[in-house]
């Protein structure tokens, strides 16, 4: 397989989010089996100054969806920031996967050198496509998926490295 911006973006983000969705499905079963209120899990943080599980899920989805859309020259789909239960987070994550996988290779042509511009809470940022993907999008997706994994593992969910990596 030749490495293109499409092959570096779409399968990588989809795999990370598929792992996240599978972990969230295990979390829902874990909460039900142990009579744990899922809202407690969604509000759990690794440390008081870190964001809770729900925000880690939100940001993993946001990073993959907006990053892939910008690289593909597509409009970033709206994703309402609202309270969700585990089933809704699983559904939202699966919807993000479907969106990312709907992007076609032709949409990514020229994106390696195209300038990508986006708004953060405090400023406007710009980068060329390749560094945007490898230094911003993918690290953010992996950070937030990893942090969600860590929160759930610390909360007693029996998951391991292969749950994070996903099955090939």
Q: How far apart are CA 79 and CA 95, in angstroms?
A: 10
pLDDT of residue 168: 61
Inter-CA distances, 168 with 16, 121, 162, Å: 12, 37, 10
Distance (Å, whole) CA 48 – CA 27:
21
The correct answer on CATH 1.20.120.450 for the domain covering 9-165 is: yes
CB neighbour list of residue 97: distance below 8 Å, 6 or more residues apart: 14, 17, 18, 21
Domain residues of the chain, as ranges? 9-165
User: Closest Cα partner for 24 from 44, 41, 12?
Assistant: 41
Interval 54-102: pLDDT, tens: 999 999 999 999 999 999 999 999 887 778 999 999 999 999 999 999 9
pTM, rounded to two decimals:
0.95
Sequence-ordered list of residues with C-beta below 8 angstroms from that of 51, at least 6 positions apart, any chain:
45, 59, 147
pLDDT digits (tens, 9 = 90+) for 14-35: 999 999 999 999 999 999 999 9
List pLDDT tens digits, range 94-137.
Answer: 999 999 999 999 999 999 999 999 988 899 999 999 999 999 99
């Amino acid at each position: 397989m030749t490495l293109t911006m499409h092959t570096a973006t779409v399968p990588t983000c989809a795999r990370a989010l598929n792992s996240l969705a599978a972990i969230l499905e295990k979390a829902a079963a874990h909460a039900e089996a142990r009579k744990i209120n899922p809202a407690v899990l969604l509000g759990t943080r690794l440390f008081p100054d870190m964001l809770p599980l729900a925000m880690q899920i939100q940001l993993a989805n946001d990073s993959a969806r907006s990053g892939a859309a910008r690289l593909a020259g597509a409009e970033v789909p709206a994703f309402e920031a609202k309270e969700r239960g585990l089933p809704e987070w699983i559904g939202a994550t699966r919807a993000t996967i479907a969106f990312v996988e709907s992007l076609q290779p032709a949409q990514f042509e020229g994106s390696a050198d195209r300038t990508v511009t986006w708004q953060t809470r405090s400023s406007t940022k710009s980068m060329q496509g390749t560094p945007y993907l490898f230094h911003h999008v993918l690290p953010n997706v992996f950070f937030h998926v990893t942090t969600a994994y860590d929160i759930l593992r610390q909360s007693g969910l029996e998951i391991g490295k292969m749950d994070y990596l996903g099955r090939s």
